[in-house]
Amino acid sequence: MSPSPAHRDQPSPGLRARLAQSLPLRLGLVGCIAASVYAITAGPMLLQPSPHFHFVDLAWNLLHGKLDTDTPRRWAHQPVSPDDPPGYQAAVDRHLLGKDGKNLGWNDWASYRVLTLKGGQQVKGVFPWKDVTGPRSKEFHTLTGQWMIIDPVNELKTGCNPKRPAERCDEVVHQVSFPPLPAVLLMPLVKLWGFNTNDVLVTLLFAVASVVLFLLWIERLARQRLIATSPGDRLWLAALFAFGTVSWYCSVRGQVWFTALAMGLTLHLLAVYFGQGARRPFWAGLFLGLGVATRTPLLFASIFVPLEALFPDGRLCLLGGPAVVRRAVTNVLWFALPMAIIGAGLAWFNWVRWENPLEFGHLYLLEGTRVPTREHGLFNSLFLNGNLSAAITNMPRVFWSEPYVAVTRHGLGLLASTPALLAMFGAKRLPESLAVDADLERQRTGLHRNLLITLAAVMVPGLLYQNDGWQQFAYRFSMDFLPLLLGVFALRVQRLSLLTKALIVIAVVVQGFGAITFGRAEQFYYD
């Protein structure tokens, strides 16, 4: 049946109009663009597993009923054994050997020693000062927190190994120190492909999902009239999230640290999406609990849903009467339920590996000999100055000759890597229809406050951590609070001006430089 003349005379809507009218089209377009740009940026890295395969190693051992690993006992170019998993020695060689063939050693594997004393007592722990001379070299720190003085030469039993009866009873146990969820998610793939599992591709897919989830959340904020941005401006916000933040360079390379950050970002976004307004507290708790099992700093984001529940519509629940209070308490309990179950599982996982329910193993990197950790612990105010620089203020060096620009391996601060954030410090500009609505303004103010409080709760402990993210283009730990930060950005920058869009473009250029050069063009980086 042919269309009527009236319909033939109506022009079909253009792409911009269709994008403005169709949320699925916007989500699909943004997802396809993000996937394409990320894949092109990854380039050859996307064609094989990354050199840092800790999660694949943990997944393989979990599949075979082991919580520890023998991988750090391997050496480069070791002959392949018939019992080796698929791709195992190739993975070992990728990790150990640099581009020039030089042996780089094992990076970020945790370990402790199991000593059997002459009296038969067995102790587990580390010699934190074994690399120094003098009496401190004999100080032994057990997994349970006790200090002992042990002389390994004279106080250890011999004969534990029947093949080498004269050898002292001194065994090293190696562990993957990172939280286990990424390894659990990789287990089906590792079952199929072993150590040939492409963690780069998996990381990239999670990163693309995060971009789509962020736009979905921003679109809902617009439907709720909490932000006044146009459909086009919301695409600009998605571009800022995908290409104007550390998400770009962190998402295209796999590797254990960046894989955890990318997966944690997706889970955090899901928790915020379901947790806003305490609409689906159980699902928010489930995804945030899984996020903690991926990135432990996300534990501090657990205050967001209780804040949203206790301050419904921006007001304290006590002001709404008994029914509102009961609903708030119920929502908090539903949120806490999956968090508690996952937390108990993580505590068990830590206990059977480290005899400490709160220890994932970072204390035992380099067998506990890392100087900052052994001197000051994992968290200390002494680390604050360096971390603040890495997080906020580090700037690039600019020269008149090659390489023209250089970036510290401590990473650019947020002001340099994502200058669009400066737009948050301007005044909010709401249209008159939204500005006069007191209920909407209260909800907007409440959400803004809760996001800011949660942002501080996640960011501040990281600023006290013994590692500033060393070996990075820009402050990679900002991935842990990125949904909160850009949620605040969207609420504050209600209408994107030309200046704000220009700052977003600059952020994309800067992050694009990092995504392309980090780990590939070493002339642009200095220690």
Largest CA distance in the chain: 101
Query: What is the pLDDT at residue 1?
Result: 46
> Structure tokens of 174?
């190696």
- Provide DSSP, 441-492: HHHHHHHHHHHHHHHHHHHHHHHTBS----S-SB-GGGGGTHHHHHHHHHHH
Q: CA-to-CA distance for 486 and 115, rounded, in angstroms?
A: 50
Helix 256-275 with 281-292: angle, nearest 10 deg? 170
Q: CA-to-CA distance for 166 and 180, rounded, in angstroms?
A: 38
> Structure tokens of 80?
């392949």
> CA quadruple 225, 226, 230, 232: dihedral positive or negative?
negative
* Residue 347 burial (C-beta neighbours within 10 Å; 0-12, 13-18, 19+): middle
- H or E segment to which residue 125 belongs: strand 122-126
The 3-class SS string of 28-46 reads HHHHHHHHHHHHHHHHHHH
Q: CA-to-CA distance for 376 and 481, rounded, in angstroms?
A: 25
> Structure tokens of 287?
């995804």
> Structure tokens of 322?
């008994």
pLDDT digits (tens, 9 = 90+) for 492-520: 998 899 999 999 999 999 999 999 999 99
pLDDT digits (tens, 9 = 90+) for 457-497: 999 999 999 999 999 999 999 999 999 999 999 999 988 99
Q: What does DSSP assign to residue 106?
A: -
The set of long-range contacts for 75-80, using a CB threshold of 8 Å and a minimum separation of 24, is 76/103
CA atoms within 13 A of residue 337's CA, in its CB half-sphere:
9
CA atoms within 13 A of residue 488's CA, in its CB half-sphere:
19
Domain(s) labelled CATH 2.30.30 in the chain stretch across 110-175
Query: What is the pLDDT at residue 15?
Result: 65
Q: CA-to-CA distance for 412 and 398, rounded, in angstroms?
A: 13
Q: CA-to-CA distance for 114 and 169, rounded, in angstroms?
A: 8
Q: How far is CA 355 from CA 340, 347, 378, 431, in A?
A: 20, 10, 18, 58
pLDDT along the chain (527 residues), means of 10: 50 66 88 97 96 97 96 94 93 91 91 93 94 90 93 89 87 95 98 97 98 97 91 94 97 96 98 96 98 97 96 83 91 97 97 93 91 92 95 95 94 96 79 71 93 97 94 96 97 91 97 96 93
- H or E segment to which residue 222 belongs: helix 199-223
Query: What is the pLDDT at residue 4?
Result: 52
CATH fold of 110-175 reads SH3 type barrels. (2.30.30)
pLDDT digits (tens, 9 = 90+) for 416-443: 999 999 999 876 666 666 666 788 889 9
Query: If phi over 0 gives left and psi between -120 and 50 gives alpha, with beta otherwise, what is residue 413?
Result: beta
CA atoms within 13 A of residue 35's CA, in its CB half-sphere:
13
Give which of 430, 434, 418 is closest to 500, Cα–Cα.
418
Query: What is the pLDDT at residue 416?
Result: 96
3 state DSSP class of 408: strand
Q: Is there a contact between 234 and 177 (Cβ–Cβ < 8 Å)?
A: no
Q: What is the dihedral of CA 419, 423, 425, 430, to 10 degrees?
A: -160
Give which of 207, 317, 331, 226 is closest to 269, Cα–Cα.
207
